[in-house]
A and B are shown apart, each in its own frame.
Chain A
Amino acid sequence: MKLAVASGKGGTGKSMVAANIAYVLSQTGPVTLIDCDVEEPDLHLFFTAPATTSDVTVRVPVIDEFACKQCGKCGEFCQYGALTVLPDRVLFFPELCHSCGGCTLVCPEYAIREEPRRIGMLGISSPLPTLTLITGTLDAGSPHAVPVIKEAKMQALGGHVTIIDTAPGTSCPVVEALDGCDACILVTESTPFGLHDLQLAADVAARLGIPAGIVINRSDGKDGETLRFCTDHDLEVMLTIPFDREIAAIQSRGDLLCRERPEWQKDFCALYAKCRALAGVDE
C-alpha cells in the first residue's frame, strides 16, 4: 500500500497527518515514510535520528570543444534553451537543462558526453525500529525537484506500507509524488483558502486516477462549504481534527499527537483503514 498525503494549500497539516499515520502504523509493522516535500522537508523534525546521506545527481552534457564544429544541431534540438551555439563555442546553462539526453543523440560529431551534476540529497534514517524515514532535499538554487522526488520514492522498501508526504500545490513535484500511489489523503482547513486549493488538489488526484479522501484539520466547526464540496464530488471526509490549543502546542513542539495523546491513535488507525478501503486493498 502506497499512500500519499497532499493538500493544495500549504500549512494545512500534511506532515502532521503523514507523521501520525506512520507512527501508529509502525507499532504494528514496518513502515516507510518518505518526505517528498523536497524544497522544505520537515518530517525529520518529528523523527530525529542520524541519517545516512547520498547525493542525487542528474546527467548534464559536456561539450568536447575540439570535436565540436558548432553545427548548431544541439542548440536547435534543446527545447529548454540550455544550449546556445555561438560561431566559436557552445554555451551551456545547467539550470535550464532537463537531462533529456537529446543533445548527445543528435550531435553528428559525437562531441557531447554526459556527466553527473548534484542537485540534492537523500537522507535515510531509522527513528524507530519499524520506521524508515527517507528525506529528499533539493539543493538551494536547483530548479528541478522532480528527480529528487523520483529518487526518494525509488528507495522505498518493497512490501512495506509506504506513506508519502508531498509538497503543497498542484504542479510537477506533487504530480511526481502522487504518481503510482494507491490512494491519497487531501488535508484541508475550514477557510476559503483551504477549500479553494482543495478543489485544485482534488482535480489533480482525479486526473491521475488516484482515489482521494479528505482530512479537515484545525476545524472550527464551520465546515459547511467544505462538506458541501466533498458531498458534491463524492469525497469522503475521513477525519476531522478540531482547532485545539493543546494539539497546536504538541505540534509546534515537534511532538506527535498520537504519542502525546494516545487516545488519537484509534482515529489515525481508522483513517488508514478508510484509505485502504478507498484503494480497494483487502485486509
Chain B
Amino acid sequence: MKVCITAQGATLESPAEDRFGRAPYFIVVESENGSFEAIKNPYADGSGGVGPKAAQVLIAHHVKALVSGQLGGNAKEVLVAAGIETYTYKAGGSVKEALDQFTRNTLVRS
C-alpha cells in the first residue's frame, strides 16, 4: 500500500511538513518493501485552490493513506471522496519518524 507523508525535502530524513497543499514534497512510500518516491509538489507556491490540486497528485499516484499536519476542508473532501485515509502527524520529526508512527498504528485519523 502506498502511504504519502508531506515533507520539507526529498528524503526520508527530511523534516515532515505540517501543511498539506503547500508541502514542498510528497514522499510516497510503498509499505510492503519500504521503497519510496519523492514527488515535488507543483502547487507548493500556488495562489489558491492548492488543496484539491495536491489531492489530485495523490490520486494519480494511487496513494491510499496520507500523513500530514493539517488539512483544509476542500482537500479533505477530495481525499475522502477518493477513499484516501488521512492521519495527523505534527510532532515535528522527520519523514521516517512519521512513517514509523504510521506503521506502528499510533497516529490519529484526521
- Stretch from B29-37, B45-53, B89-97 contacting the other chain: B45-53
Residues in A with CB closer than 8 Å to B52 are 81-82, 84, 91, 93, 96
CB distance from B13 to the nearest CB of A (A): 31
Residues in A with CB closer than 8 Å to B82 are 86-87
Residues in B with CB closer than 8 Å to A93 are 49, 52, 74, 77
Residues in A with CB closer than 8 Å to B46 are 81
Please, how many angstroms separate the alpha-carbon atoms of A84 and B49 in the complex? Answer: 10
Please, how many angstroms separate the alpha-carbon atoms of A79 and B56 in the complex? Answer: 13
Please, how many angstroms separate the alpha-carbon atoms of A13 and B42 in the complex? Answer: 43
> Is B39 close to A, CB under 8 A?
no
Please, how many angstroms separate the alpha-carbon atoms of A84 and B53 in the complex? Answer: 7
Interface string of B71-86 (1 = CB under 8 A from A): 0001001100110000
**Known pairs A84-B55, A85-B56; A91 contacts B78 (CB<8 A):** yes
Which of A82, A85, A87, A89 is close to B49, meaning CB atoms less than 8 Å apart?
A82
Residues in A with CB closer than 8 Å to B55 are 84
> Is B59 close to A, CB under 8 A?
yes
**Chain A residue at smallest Cβ distance from B73:** A93
CB distance from B71 to the nearest CB of A (A): 14
Please, how many angstroms separate the alpha-carbon atoms of A85 and B78 in the complex? Answer: 9
Residues in A with CB closer than 8 Å to B43 are 81
> Is A80 close to B, CB under 8 A?
yes
CB distance from A58 to the nearest CB of B (A): 16
Which of A78, A84, A87 is close to B78, meaning CB atoms less than 8 Å apart?
A84
Residues in B with CB closer than 8 Å to A79 are 49
CB distance from B96 to the nearest CB of A (A): 30
> Is A75 close to B, CB under 8 A?
yes
B74 A86 Cβ-Cβ under 8 A:
no
**Known pairs A91-B78, A93-B74; A86 contacts B49 (CB<8 A):** no
Please, how many angstroms separate the alpha-carbon atoms of A75 and B50 in the complex? Answer: 12
B50 A86 Cβ-Cβ under 8 A:
no
Please, how many angstroms separate the alpha-carbon atoms of A78 and B78 in the complex? Answer: 15
Residues in B with CB closer than 8 Å to A86 are 59, 78, 81-82
CB distance from A94 to the nearest CB of B (A): 11
**Chain A residue at smallest Cβ distance from B46:** A81
B53 A91 Cβ-Cβ under 8 A:
no
**Chain A residue at smallest Cβ distance from B53:** A81
CB distance from B10 to the nearest CB of A (A): 24
CB distance from A108 to the nearest CB of B (A): 19
Please, how many angstroms separate the alpha-carbon atoms of A85 and B60 in the complex? Answer: 10
- Count chain A CB atoms within 10 A of each CB in B48, B50, B51, B82 and give the residue with the most: B48
The 7 closest A-B pairs by CB, nearest first: A81-B49, A81-B52, A80-B49, A96-B49, A81-B53, A84-B52, A84-B78
Pick 18 A–B contacts, CB within 8 A, sort by A: A78-B49, A81-B48, A81-B50, A81-B52, A81-B53, A84-B53, A84-B56, A84-B78, A84-B81, A85-B56, A86-B59, A86-B78, A86-B81, A89-B81, A91-B52, A93-B49, A93-B52, A93-B77
Chain A residues close to B by CB (< 8 Å): 75, 78-82, 84-87, 89, 91, 93, 96
Query: What 6 new A-B contacts, CB under 8 Å, besides A81-B49, A86-B59, A93-B74?
Result: A81-B52, A84-B81, A87-B59, A89-B81, A91-B78, A96-B49
